[in-house]
Structure 1
Amino acid sequence: MSGSACFFYHILNERSGSKVEQILPFLSEVGFPALVTFYLLYRIETKLEAVLQSLQSLPERMRNGE
């Protein structure tokens, strides 16, 4: 595994656990661009979850006058 792939492996492994072991064989065939793409998609997913939670709590917050 190259140095940059190893770096992303450790970052992803800290956040997603066993998902990395399932994705890694595929990434070794496709290469670094795919690895970066998956990493960025994962980061965007977590941000979207936060936005979704904010939107879901918005009506109640507006009723409470916050």
Structure 2
Amino acid sequence: TNSERHANLVRSVITMAYQLHMDVVAEGVETPDQLRLLREWGCDILQGYLYARPVPAAEAENYLRWRCVV
């Protein structure tokens, strides 16, 4: 969000992915501004510190086991 050049690059990659019928995953979303732009540009999946800190696989598995309906 600090560089118009970087923003244009990200938007172009998202557009290209959609033209190729691909889903788009944004990694490293850390600020509300990044979230807003990525949603505005139609990014499918977002992940990063804004949502949750990285955790070991066992901790993630335990979290999903107790919080998700399968």
TM-score (norm 1): 0.28
Question: Which structure is higher in strand share?
Answer: 2
TM-score (norm 2): 0.27
Question: Which structure is higher in helix share?
Answer: 1
Highest Rg: 1 or 2? 1
